[in-house]
């Protein structure tokens, strides 16, 4: 039985513990996606806090795939100096850092994308701000190549791994979902066809970085929306990835249209509310041979440890590290009190107006 503070190896990348900082939009980049010193300092503090692996906020691989202001870009070569400073800051503290690659597809808007959004199908659904344009096959090929180019840059800049964002209603997830993918060609219809874009992206990324470099995915285990990706079809996608050689799967769920079952749930007050993706993660773990991580509401040392005892390989947290970047160090030092995060989502509100996320609760006077 693994414990939180045992090492974990993912295709040659050795983590000194099994606590992962799950990808979090920080809002700390310039308008064009260039990382700022504030973002570099954010990752440095996480590495100082002994988190096993830092996964960056989602980095757009093509400009029209950007969703929010302050998002990091990996779409060109102009940010090489800042990117290498970022990875260097983490490595100086003994940490590991993985960049998350994304195209947000129909979940962006014309203002942030600089054009009408692109999606598998030109349908307006609740999770889309506006009706997108349908991707043509040449555009699909261009985006597959953009993911591969982003991964190549990431390896060159010193990142220790890449993670594909296949969750939360973004483009890879949109192809997988029957709700957002109404295509009648080889990219639509059966779950195998809906998974074609995902596998093309994975294969192109793998070719770009080689077999010895970790390629991971954040995958929805279920969309929790009527007509969306089902748990059964997600399991099929996970098995296909496992057969292709994916190095690790982080299991999440939900989209912005999932109501109380959204990816970022609030009012997690008890241990029973924690780990809300555990059942989905365990199902995928039973079907694949690679390491499987679960994200979703972990706040207690005991609940995280129980998840590992149940067969998972790692635990991913996001919001708790915004208040306590040293949470891993605190738990390892013997203070295993519950994370201070109250799951209010107040941390994201300053990011849109004030240049970056921060815990607003921690700033209140005692």
**Active centre residues (catalytic):** 170
Spatial CA neighbour of 350 closest among 47, 112, 22, 70:
70
What are the backbone angles phi and psi of residue 49, rounded to the nearest 5°? -80, 5
Query: In this structure, are strands 13-15 and 19-21 parallel, antiparallel, or unpaired?
Result: unpaired
Length in residues, the chain: 366
Concatenated DSSP letters of 19-84 = EEE-------B-TTSPBPHHHHHHHHHHHHTT-SEEEPSPEESSGGG--STT-EE-SSSTTHHHHH
Count of beta carbons in the 10 Å neighbourhood of residue 264: 16
Concatenated DSSP letters of 94-108 = T--EEEEEE--GGGS
Beta bridge partners of 100: 163
Tell me how many degrees the CA angle 345-339-297 measures, rounded to the nearest 5. 55
């Amino acid at each position: 039985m693994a414990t939180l503070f045992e090492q974990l190896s993912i295709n040659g990348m050795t983590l000194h513990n099994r606590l992962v900082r799950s990808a979090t939009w920080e809002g700390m980049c310039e308008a064009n996606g260039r990382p700022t010193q504030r973002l570099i300092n954010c990752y440095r503090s996480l590495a100082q806090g002994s988190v096993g692996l830092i996964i960056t906020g989602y980095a757009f691989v093509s400009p029209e795939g950007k969703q929010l202001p302050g998002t990091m870009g990996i779409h060109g070569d102009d940010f090489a100096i800042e990117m290498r400073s970022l990875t260097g800051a983490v490595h100086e503290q003994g940490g590991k850092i993985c960049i998350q690659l994304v195209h947000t597809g129909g979940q962006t808007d014309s203002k942030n994308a600089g054009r009408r959004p692109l999606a598998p199908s030109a349908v307006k659904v609740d999770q889309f701000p506006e009706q997108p344009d349908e991707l043509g096959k040449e555009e699909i090929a261009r985006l597959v190549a953009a993911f591969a180019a982003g991964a190549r840059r990431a390896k060159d800049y010193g990142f220790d791994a890449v993670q594909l964002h296949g969750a939360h209603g973004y483009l890879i997830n949109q192809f997988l979902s029957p709700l957002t993918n109404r295509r009648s060609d080889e990219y639509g219809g059966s779950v195998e066809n809906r998974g074609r874009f995902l596998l093309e992206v994975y294969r192109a990324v793998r070719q770009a970085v080689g077999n010895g470099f970790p390629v991971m995915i954040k995958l929805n285990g279920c969309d929790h929306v009527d007509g969306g990706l089902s748990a059964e079809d997600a399991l099929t996608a996970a098995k296909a990835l496992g057969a292709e050689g994916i190095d690790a799967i982080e299991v999440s769920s939900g989209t912005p249209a999932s109501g109380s079952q959204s990816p970022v749930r609030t009012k997690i007050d008890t241990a029973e509310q924690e780990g809300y993706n555990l059942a989905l993660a365990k199902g995928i773990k039973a079907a694949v041979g690679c390491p499987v991580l679960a994200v979703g509401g972990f706040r207690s040392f005991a609940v995280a440890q129980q998840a590992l005892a149940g067969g998972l390989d790692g635990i991913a947290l996001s919001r708790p590290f915004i208040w306590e970047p040293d949470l891993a160090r605190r738990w390892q030092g013997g203070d295993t009190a519950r994370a201070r995060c109250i799951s209010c989502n107040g941390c994201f509100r300053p990011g849109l107006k004030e240049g970056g996320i921060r815990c607003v609760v921690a700033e209140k006077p005692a």
